[in-house]
Amino acid sequence: MSSISTGRMIDDRSDPMKGRVAWAPAKSVWITAMTLIAIVGGPLTFTWSAFGVFILLTAITICLGHSVGMHRLLIHRSFRTPLWIEHFLVYLGTLVGMAGPFGMIYAHDIRDWAQRQRDCHDLYAHRRSFLVDAFWQMHCVVALTHPPRFVIEERVRRDRLYRLLEATWMGQQLPLALALFMLGGLPWLVWGIAVRVSVSLTGHWLVGHFAHRSGHQGWSIDHVAVQGYNLPRFGLVTFGESFHGNHHAFPESARLGIEPGQMDLGWHFIRLLARLGLASAIKLPHMIAPREGLRRVETSGDAGDGHPVGQH
Ligand SMILES: [Zn+2]
Ligand SMILES: [Zn+2]
């Protein structure tokens, strides 16, 4: 089948269906090692201060780094900020331990591209059972027979910090690990690195798994392979990322929790930046040209026009 091009994924002769799932050794060994250290070492080294360090570092790296820095800023350009802040947020996003900046853009965009086609490979759709999906998403990649061309915009591609982070993303844990060890010994090291990285990566997969299968939807998209769903109960711990149905409807929106009662701490951080004069050109659903096939599926307020309620 032929495909449509999206953003950085170009070439209408590519095929989002045909390909084989291949084990990705580096990613697999990395996540397995972190998880084993966390499962064995976590209980052995537990202290309340180590637990506090784990919570604090997870919140900072996932919210400011992953959700705001990598996802809403670097990938979707949903707002503008001075380069030094962008660099700092993307650095924090790298500390999550999932991938470097280019790897994150690729992992996001290839899935997004595949999900926007009429049909796509089971891996991109999270269509398989819980355990198969866990293994596929955290330990494998799809080697497509006819992949699209992946082209990162020049400004990002040439950025020296991003190139460094991309080349050394696993090693970026080392300075932090050293600081944690000096400040709080083995407990801070195990909880601040291994427990945090394994919980972050497993949590990221869980959200991706459930948010593409079923749940609450404010909008749906016609004629695409995969829908996104909101997981309202997880809004707090995912810093707004669990409102994934909203994200499919309005991918460039800086705000993910757009309906009343949808807690989105990542959005509050962007608002804080804006109040400090450090964020501008913030995109919201009503400013974005509606996606083709966008349809309101739930009646709250004026249904059917494809515009969200509560835009501020
Ligand atoms: Zn999605
Ligand atoms: Zn996205």
What is the Å distance from ligand 1's center to 155 Cα?
Answer: 26
Indicate if the pLDDT at residue 301 is higher than 50: no
For 227-248, what is each residue's pLDDT tens digit? Answer: 999 999 999 999 999 999 999 9
Taking only the tens place, the pLDDT of each residue in 265-289 is: 999 999 999 999 999 999 999 999 9
pLDDT of residue 198: 98
Residue 3's pLDDT is what? 78
Q: State the pLDDT at residue 6.
A: 80
Number of H helices, E strands in the chain: 12, 6
Rounded to the nearest whole angstrom, what is the distance from the C-alpha of residue 251 to the centroid of ligand 1? 9
Question: How many residues comprise the chain?
Answer: 312
Please spell the DSSP secondary structure of 145-158, one letter per residue.
Answer: SSPPEE---HHHHT
Cα separation, 78 vs 217, in Å, equals 22
Residue 11 burial by CB count (10 A; 0-12/13-18/19+): exposed, middle or buried?
middle
Ligand closest to the CA atom of residue 111: 1
183-234 confidence digits (pLDDT tens) = 999 999 999 999 999 999 999 999 999 999 999 999 999 999 999 999 999 9
CA of 108 to the centre of ligand 1 (A): 9
pLDDT surpassing 90 at residue 309: no
Please state the pTM of the whole predicted model. 0.93
Q: What angle do CA 216, 217, 222 make, to 5 degrees?
A: 145
Domain edges within the chain? 16-148+158-289
What does the pLDDT look like over 74-93, one tens digit per residue?
A: 999 999 999 999 999 999 99
Report the pLDDT value the prediction gives residue 305, as an integer from 0 to 100.
41
How far, in Å, from the CA of 247 to the mean position of ligand 2?
A: 7
Centre of ligand 2 to C-alpha 88, Å, is: 20
Q: CA–CA separation, 258 vs 296, rounded Å?
A: 13
Q: In angstroms, what is the span from residue 229 Cα to ligand 1's centroid?
A: 8
Question: Given this model, what pLDDT does residue 252 score?
Answer: 97
Q: How do residues 1-59 score in pLDDT, each as one tens digit?
A: 567 888 899 987 899 999 999 999 999 999 999 999 999 999 999 999 999 999 999 99
According to the model, what pLDDT value does residue 4 have? 81
What is the 248 CA–ligand 1 centroid distance (Å)?
A: 6
The model's pLDDT over 112-169, given as tens digits with 9 standing for 90+, comes to: 999 999 999 999 999 999 999 999 999 999 999 999 999 999 999 999 999 999 999 9
**Residue 22, token pair as written in the block:** 């291949």
